[in-house]
Amino acid sequence: MAKDYSSIVVSSRVRLSRCLNDVPFPAKMDELTGKKVVRKVYNAIDGEDDFGLYVMKDLPRDEAYIMQEKHLISHDLIENSQSGAVMINQDETISIMINEEDHIREQCLMSGLCLEQAYQKLNKIDQQICKKIDIAFDQNLGFLTSCITNVGTGLRVSVMLFLPALTLTKKIDSIIGNLTKNGLAVRGAYGEATDYLGYLYQISNERTIGKSEEDYIRQINSIIIQICDMEIDARKQLLLTRETEVKDVVGRAYGVLTNCYLLPVEEFMRLAGEIKMGIALNLVRMKDNHIVDKLLATLAPYTLCKLAGNVSTMQEEQKFRAEYVAKVLKSNRIK
């Protein structure tokens, strides 16, 4: 029977970078050429999986930032208001950024550990694109991209992991060192500047050349499973040796989140990680074990503002977040 890693693996993402042959890279394109690229990609995808097209020039800024908070687009794409666009399927598992750093960046983002499934879904779209569009490709190097670090497969694979036990037992440092030596990058949930807030670690490949896409997927999937097994062992050790201390951390986090009046987003993310740890270690029982992940997705700044409707100041945002979190946690907790 396969092991359950649902309390460890938050999400899996597979991304493919592609550029058109004989077309200047997006940074060097004029607006007319950019529009032609958007039209070509749209025509190649049209009819597949109910994709919608969103043009950055016409998209309200707040809506674009909500897409960024959902990890559907990048900040660089938002800034390309001249010719940037994105195609997103109905369930928001696949997004295709057009005229970001490369002409095409295809992405599949799914919950849990499902790299192979994500790759298969994305590969179907990629084959459609490569069949209908003249993509830059070299027989020796592979796919040619604007950034040399993507040349080859153009593949970036990342998995978001929740690793509280490996963090608290201080085993995570040696793991990160080994991953780095083996050509993998480790970042926080929202990039390098966020550190590892809420015990969240994003692990991705840095090498894109030398192996097939399928080989990279298998290699990273195997490494992720090893880390998950280490986290499971570390959780057992944590409960055996430091259960009272962990209960105190979790209890304090729950107390603040259900009683505070103002809740800044970074403090929320940190305390949410403590609650998520309590759920994973069965120290806090919730009706929905994924309630923290849902709160994190719902209460990012721009998504929160849309939900609240009338938030106009930072203090109002923090007040709404505090009230919303307290209500959801109290209604979900099983005494």
3-state SS of the chain is CCCCCCCCEEEEEEEEEECECCCCCHHHCCHHHHHHHHHHHHHHHCCCCCCEEEECCCCCHHHHHHHHHCCCCCHHHHHCCCCCEEEECCCCCEEEEECCCCCEEEEEEEECCCHHHHHHHHHHHHHHHHHHCCECEECCCEECCCCHHHCECCEEEEEEEECHHHHHCCCHHHHHHHHHHCCEEEEECCEHHHCCHHHEEEEEECCCCCCCHHHHHHHHHHHHHHHHHHHHHHHHHHHHHHHHHHHHHHHHHHHHHCCCCCCCHHHHHHHHHHHHHHHHCCCCCECCCCHHHHHHHHCCHHHHHHHHCCCCCHHHHHHHHHHHHHHHHHHHECC
* Distance of alpha carbon 24 from alpha carbon 16, whole angstroms: 19
| Percent of residues, the chain, with pLDDT higher than 90 | 87
pLDDT at residue 81 in the model: 85
- Angle among Cα 200, 164, 325 to the nearest 5 degrees reads 65
* Distance of alpha carbon 225 from alpha carbon 267, whole angstroms: 30
pLDDT at residue 1 in the model: 55
- Angle among Cα 328, 309, 197 to the nearest 5 degrees reads 50
Residue 261 has pLDDT above 90, yes or no: yes
| Percent of residues, the chain, with pLDDT higher than 70 | 97
Confidence of residue 190 (pLDDT cuts 50, 70, 90): low
Residue 189 has pLDDT above 80, yes or no: no
pTM flag (> 0.85): yes
Instruction: Name which of 199, 241, 138 is nearest 8 in CA terms.
Output: 199
Instruction: Name which of 229, 223, 177, 231 is nearest 200 in CA terms.
Output: 231
- The residues facing 18 across adjacent strands are 104
pLDDT at residue 3 in the model: 84
pLDDT at residue 196 in the model: 77
- How far does the chain reach from its first CA to its final CA, in angstroms? 31
| Domains, the chain | 9-229 (3.30.590.10), 241-332 (no CATH)
pLDDT in tens, 137-153: 999 999 999 988 899 99
Mean pLDDT of 228-238: 96
* Distance of alpha carbon 91 from alpha carbon 316, whole angstroms: 31
